[in-house]
Amino acid sequence: MSSKKIHFDISNIENIWFADKYYKKPIFGFMELQRKAQALDFQIKILEEKFGRFDLILARLYGTHRLFAKLNYEQVFYSIHSDPWVEATHNKNLSKTIKSIASFKRVYKNKKIVCVSKGIKYTLVNKFSLNEKDITIIYNPFKFEDIIKKSTEYKVEIEDDYIVHVGRFHPQKRHDILFESYKKMKTEHKLVL
């Protein structure tokens, strides 16, 4: 597989935060998503009047994805950094889980998606029945020189051999798989979390 470097000028980036002047909370909760989408649409139109039409809108996190799914912006890419199946099925209530899975399918169907791993792409295609052609994998970047340099700056106080896990403790991080794999390894190495 070949790898190519692509450089973009990102000096003119705008982050959009909701301001009270654009978003008024509705009386009925079921209208909130539509109102937030309208507020987002309004803010984008203001920014496009100032800067011109955006070539790319990168939407992060499921809440933002739900808003853009209500709008018709062809230049939106939905960025997914963790397993959406875990988020959709974390509920113990079967009815809510079914509704959540259906909601995820609606939000992402026929959308341009960028994900950070083959595992997430596999989930989107095989569990949410999304079109593989709509999904691109872009791995998280790493500055290996910096990582190697920083690794020499700290002396670990563990004397035995060990395996390190670095990550927040959340169902999306799939610690269940880590623990099951560690158990199957039958190793004397300690697991450091």
Residues linked to residue 162 through DSSP beta bridges, in sequence order = 190
pLDDT digits (tens, 9 = 90+) for 134-156: 999 999 888 888 888 888 887 77
Residue located via tokens 């509920």? 91
Burial 72-99 (b: 16+ CB within 10 A, else e): eeeebbbbbebbbbebbbeeeeeeeeee
Report the chain's C-alpha Rg in angstroms: 21
Res 3: pLDDT:
52
Judged by DSSP in three states, 118 sits in helix
pLDDT digits (tens, 9 = 90+) for 103-134: 999 999 999 999 999 999 999 999 999 999 99
The DSSP output letter for 28 is S
